[in-house]
A = this chain, B = another copy of it.
């Protein structure tokens, strides 16, 4: 790919342009707001002018509701050989493209899963997409050439392409992105009318839950309404869960008033809360850990830690010094040992199988009392 046009120089469009420029592609920038295109150019994202001849790829970086009109206008003036977009909703724009665009075969839907709370060209970063998924949603008329250019763009930006159908994409992102945004917004909206102490006791948990609610309301309104059908079902399920929780809380609040020291009752309310919390933990278990590679076979080193203050800290320090982050070391079982000859704690330290021998030998040489390594199924 030698030449590219980017239509819409907001956060995503400008970041794509910066990444492409950085890889030697000649990029032509445009935006309804001419100052935004010139800002992107001044940032080094390309030239704020029309290309002299059709480019290899045009990237439509406009909100979901404007994809079809932007594609039609671009195809009518012959802007590019093939086209993609970066909107986070795919089925609606695809239907509109199939119904109305002059050459739908030259279009493949795209959606890089990356963003920031800040918007506009000044927030753009060439590395925004590095290591992130980039969904591509070819429709039944999409040409091989269009799909290939979409794949090339994702790879050029350092992202990992994921090919799926537009409807499947929209159902997934309703759950992974759009409904979470709504929840962050309903939670953040409550803070406005909260008691005076809210800013005093706001911590990291609240900040994390509400962070994405800071996104541009106009763009997000466009995204949410463009994916209304896929979101509606999820929102109804959430509301049903919240109704059950509200009923449980009412029961528990009443119990609290009637017998204020009787916290121990495991009634219906408690079961509802425990069930929800456990389902939440189970839901998280299905998400990949950030930065985690494929599961690694582990060996469990078993170390006897003498029962003296600070000895366990000393062991964890020794393990850390061997290149294992202490936060990653899940010490799985700590048992009090009361043998005749020694009292202490038996600690089980899972380490990657490949490093087990080296780490075990080093710990043994340092005087730690250890049992032979035991293999653990890959997690």
Q: Which residues of A contact B (CB under 8 A)?
A: 34-36, 38-39, 41-44, 46-47, 64-66, 68, 92, 95-96, 99-100, 113-115, 118, 122, 132-133, 135, 162, 164, 168-169, 171-173, 175-177, 179-192, 194-195, 197-215, 217-218, 220-222, 224-226, 228-229, 231-232, 234-239, 241-243, 245-246, 248-253, 256-257, 260-261, 263-264, 269-270, 273-274, 276-284, 286-288, 290, 305, 307-313, 316, 327, 331, 334-336, 345
- Contact between A172 and B195, CB atoms less than 8 A apart: yes
- With A38-B345, A41-B309, A186-B238 given, can you name 18 additional A-B contacts, CB distance below 8 Å? A34-B336, A42-B308, A43-B312, A95-B261, A99-B261, A113-B203, A169-B197, A176-B191, A180-B205, A188-B283, A189-B282, A205-B211, A210-B280, A217-B274, A226-B263, A229-B257, A232-B253, A235-B246
Which of B41, B256, B286 lies in contact with A192, CB distance below 8 A?
B286
How distant is A344 from chain B, measured CB to nearest CB, in Å?
A: 8
Which of B132, B176, B261 lies in contact with A68, CB distance below 8 A?
B261
- Contact between B239 and A235, CB atoms less than 8 A apart: no
Which residues of chain B are near A68, meaning CB under 8 Å?
261
Residue from A68, A118, A243, A279 with most neighbouring chain B CB atoms (10 Å) = A279
Contact A180 B210, CB 8 Å, known A172-B197, A280-B186: yes
Q: Tell me the nearest residue of chain B to A250, going by C-beta.
A: B232
**Separation of A229 and B210 alpha carbons in the complex (Å):** 23
- Contact between B334 and A273, CB atoms less than 8 A apart: no
Which of B95, B113, B277 lies in contact with A185, CB distance below 8 A?
B277
Number of copies: 2
Can you give 25 contacting A-B residue pairs, CB < 8 Å?
A35-B345, A38-B307, A44-B313, A95-B261, A99-B260, A100-B261, A115-B203, A122-B331, A135-B201, A162-B201, A175-B198, A176-B206, A184-B209, A186-B241, A188-B284, A189-B241, A192-B282, A198-B286, A202-B288, A205-B211, A210-B287, A221-B274, A228-B251, A228-B253, A235-B249
- Contact between B42 and A192, CB atoms less than 8 A apart: no
Contact A221 B253, CB 8 Å, known A114-B203, A310-B44: no
Which of B205, B226, B253 lies in contact with A177, CB distance below 8 A?
B205
- Contact between A246 and B269, CB atoms less than 8 A apart: no
**Separation of A194 and B345 alpha carbons in the complex (Å):** 42
Q: Pick the 10 closest A-B CB pairs, nearest first.
A: A185-B280, A65-B263, A42-B312, A228-B252, A44-B310, A189-B279, A217-B277, A191-B283, A213-B280, A188-B283
